[in-house]
Structure 1
Amino acid sequence: MESDLGLWAIPLAVIGGAIRVSTPILFVSLGETLTERSGRINLGLEGTLVFGAMAAYATAVLSGSPWLGVLVGALCGAVFGLIHGVICSIPKVNDIAIGIAMMLLGTGLAFYFGKPFIQPVAPDLPAIPLGWWSDLPQVQAALNVNVLFVIGLIAALALAWALRATRPGLILRVVGDSTDAARAMGLRPAMIRTMATAIGGAFAGIGGSYLSLYYPGSWNEGISSGQGLMAVALVIFARWSPINCFWAALLFGGAGALGPALQSVGVTQGYYLFYAAPYILTLGVLIATSSTSRALTGAPGELSITK
């Protein structure tokens, strides 16, 4: 690669890697944005992501259809979100504690039911060859964009519009900002939050299906690498904006692609340190957004982390 592209190989590899790595983070962060805009935080999306990856992969292996796998992953994510939402609707139940319990449940069930599917090979999701104009295989590989990335971009734009310009979006924002105001309008905050949590779980399930059916494109117990928890920090960094989630996901994806990019151009010493870049970035985001003297800009008023 070095002889073909020289130093251009590094930014090209980072861009291509950012697109690949960012897709599951994007879907999880969009789901968490929807959930948190309703006034609830869901730390269980890591478990939802892993279980969705397993369910999608198993379905694709058994049916031969990767898209059926994506659908099943989304349905499983919605079920996990629905369970989380229903439990958190009980008075005096802590949503953060329930989220941690759901994370452990999701990963545990995925490891248990996923053992028979570690060896079998599932069909991959299709990709769009945006590098068709180049004869260099490196360019073609870097610009091979999965369909789910495009769907994620469309979903981010649609969610941003819906939250700003539609009645359901207004209802969600009212419920997230003030339970009392929502009840005064005749709304049912608990039901709305439960529905938002279920839809958020479905997004996380789709993100999991991308992991197992495209990149890295296999099922194993370490497939997530904490991306579900990273997405929660990303939502805070993005200030609960779906559009900002898209750009922030690309930033996190680029950080995750830095190590492999350096390795691909022949860097043999120290490149592995850059594999820690996404986790360092997550820690930096949490530190930068933490303050005892000022509120989080754009945070829903009913969100537990703002109280």
Structure 2
Amino acid sequence: MEGDLGWWAVPLAVLGGAIRVSTPILFVSLGETLTERSGRINLGLEGTLVFGAMAGYATAVMTGNPWAGVLVAALAGAVFGLVHGLICSMAKVNDIAIGIAMMLLGTGLAFYFGKPFIQPAAPDLPSIPFGWWSDVPQVQAALNVNVLFLAGIAAALVLHWGLRATKPGLILRVVGDSTDAARAMGLRPAVIRTMATALGGAFAGVGGAYLSLFYPGSWNEGISSGQGLMAVALVIFARWQPLNCFWAALLFGGAGALGPALQSVGVTQGYYLFYAAPYVLTLGVLIATSSPNRALAGAPGELSITK
């Protein structure tokens, strides 16, 4: 790669890596945006992501169909979200504590049921070769875009429009901002929050299926690398806006691709520091965007972290 493109390979590799790495973060952050806009926080999405990765991979291995794996991963994520929502609907239950418990449950179940599927190979999700116009293999590889990345863009656009211009979006925002106002309108906040949490879990499950069925494209117990928790921080950085989640996910994805990109041109010193870039960025952007007056600007009023 160094002989063909030299340092021009770095931005190209970062672009391709940003697209690949950002996709699961995008899906999890969109799901968490829906959940938090309803007034509930779900820290259990890391467990949902890992279980979705296992469920999707196992299904693809058994059926030979990666799309069946995506569907099962989404359903598994929705079940985790539904359980989380139902428990949090009970009196005197803390969202954050339940989220941590669900995270441990999801990862534990994934490791237990996923052991038989570590070795078998599953079919990959299809990609679209946007680099067809180039004869350079590196360009073709960087622009080989998975279908789920495009689906994530479409989902961000639909959610952006839905939250602003539709009745369900208005209902979700009202419930998230004021339980009393929602009840005065004849709404049932607990039911709406549970549905939003279940839908958010389905998004996280799809993100997990992407991990195991495309990039890195295998099932193992360390597959998520904390991306579910990073996505929760990303939602705060994105100020609970779906389109901002897309751009923020690309930023985090580019940070995750920086290490491999520099290695591709022979820069190997500080190898482990390059791979820490997404986590350093997570901490940095939260510090940079926080202040005593605007630390939670745009946060739903009923969200646990605002009280």
Please give the range of the TM-score, normalised by the shorter of the 2 chains.
Answer: over 0.9
Matches within 5 A, 1:1-307: 1-294=1-294, 296-307=296-307
Quick check: 1:52–1:77 contact (8 Å CA) kept in 2? yes
Provide the rounded CA distance (Å) in 1 between the counterparts of 2:85 and 2:244: 25
The one-character-per-residue Cα deviations of 1:212-244 (angstroms, maximum 9, x if unpaired) are 000000000000000000000000000000000
TM-score, normalised via structure 1 length: 0.99
SS in 2 for 1:128: strand
Provide the rounded CA distance (Å) in 1 between the counterparts of 2:294 and 2:165: 29
**Range with bigger deviation, 183-192 or 272-281:** 272-281
The one-character-per-residue Cα deviations of 1:266-303 (angstroms, maximum 9, x if unpaired) are 11222331100000011112323444444511110000
Distance 1:294 1:139, change over 3 A: closer
Structure 1 position 108, deviation (Å): 0.2
How high is the sequence identity, in percent, across the aligned residues?
Answer: 88
SS in 1 for 2:276: helix
The one-character-per-residue Cα deviations of 1:80-125 (angstroms, maximum 9, x if unpaired) are 0000000000011000000000000000000000000000000000
Provide the rounded CA distance (Å) in 2 between the counterparts of 1:290 and 1:85: 29
Provide the rounded CA distance (Å) in 1 between the counterparts of 2:129 and 2:162: 30
Structure 1 position 7, deviation (Å): 1.2
Q: Which amino acid aligns with 1:266?
A: G
Provide the rounded CA distance (Å) in 2 between the counterparts of 1:169 and 1:267: 48
Query: After TM superposition, which residue ranges in structure 1, 4 or more long, deviate above 6 angstroms?
Result: none
Provide the rounded CA distance (Å) in 1 between the counterparts of 2:26 and 2:9: 25
Quick check: 1:289–1:296 contact (8 Å CA) kept in 2? no
Provide the rounded CA distance (Å) in 2 between the counterparts of 1:240 and 1:293: 17
Distance 1:193 1:83, change over 3 A: same
Q: Which amino acid aligns with 2:245?
A: C
Distance 1:289 1:90, change over 3 A: farther
SS in 2 for 1:39: coil
Provide the rounded CA distance (Å) in 2 between the counterparts of 1:67 and 1:244: 27
The one-character-per-residue Cα deviations of 1:12-51 (angstroms, maximum 9, x if unpaired) are 0000000000000000000000000000000000000000
Quick check: 2:289–2:295 contact (8 Å CA) kept in 1? no
SS in 2 for 1:103: helix
Quick check: 2:33–2:235 contact (8 Å CA) kept in 1? yes
SS in 2 for 1:5: helix
Q: CA RMSD in A?
A: 0.9
Provide the rounded CA distance (Å) in 1 between the counterparts of 2:127 and 2:165: 32
Structure 1 position 262, deviation (Å): 0.8
Q: Which sections of structure 1, spanning at least 5 residues, go unmatched?
A: none
Quick check: 1:128–1:147 contact (8 Å CA) kept in 2? yes
**Range with bigger deviation, 257-266 or 195-204:** 257-266
Quick check: 1:75–1:202 contact (8 Å CA) kept in 2? yes
Structure 1 position 154, deviation (Å): 0.2
Q: Which sections of structure 2, spanning at least 5 residues, go unmatched?
A: none
The one-character-per-residue Cα deviations of 1:138-174 (angstroms, maximum 9, x if unpaired) are 0000000000000000000000000000000000000
**Range with bigger deviation, 73-82 or 290-299:** 290-299
Provide the rounded CA distance (Å) in 2 between the counterparts of 1:263 and 1:208: 27
Quick check: 1:236–1:289 contact (8 Å CA) kept in 2? no
SS in 2 for 1:186: coil
SS in 2 for 1:217: coil
